[in-house]
Structure 1
Amino acid sequence: MTSTATEVPFRPREKLLDKQRFFQNVHKHTYLKGPMDKITSVAIPLGLVAACTALIAQGIYNMSHGVGKKE
């Protein structure tokens, strides 16, 4: 049995070609090519680093001054 039905593409071919042209002409690192990639590749990791650094500093302070102990 052969089927003659073809699947409908997710995006029109013209939009796909436009996206390909856009990404091929952008001269940035691969992980920063999209418009929202700066948030996921830069801002979120920097936020995690800041939060971890603050928690580590708080832990070192608590250990050196002997505060925050459980009895």
Structure 2
Amino acid sequence: MSDEAPFRPREQLIEKQRLFQSIHKHTHLKGPVDKLTSVAIPLALAGSCLFLIGRGIYNMSHGIGKKE
């Protein structure tokens, strides 16, 4: 059987492992862009959902937007 070439050189892989094992943060926040995808986007979605739910409750309680 022929051995398949690795995707990355072993030295580069060991360097990345050392970097990620030395950071004392949660696993999903270790990359530089991960704060945007793990924190900012879910907070924006939750905020917009709460706004739309509040607006819907307000409209229902005041009878706004009913179809005749």
| Percent sequence identity over aligned pairs | 68
* Runs (5+) with no aligned partner, structure 2: none
2:33 to 18, 31, 36: 36
Aligned residues: CA RMSD: 1.0
Query: 1:1-71 alignment to 2 at 5 Å?
Result: 3=1, 5-71=2-68
Q: Distance in 2 between matches of 1:65 and 1:53?
A: 18
What is the Cα deviation at residue 40 of structure 1? 1.2
4+ long deviations beyond 6 Å = none
What are the Cα deviations for residues 10-31 of structure 1, in whole angstroms up to 9, with x where unaligned?
1111211111001100011121
Q: For residue 56 of structure 1, what is the amino acid of its counterpart?
A: I
Q: 1:70 to 1:15 in 2, by over 3 A?
A: farther
Residues matched between the structures, number = 68
Structure 1, unaligned runs of 5 or more: none
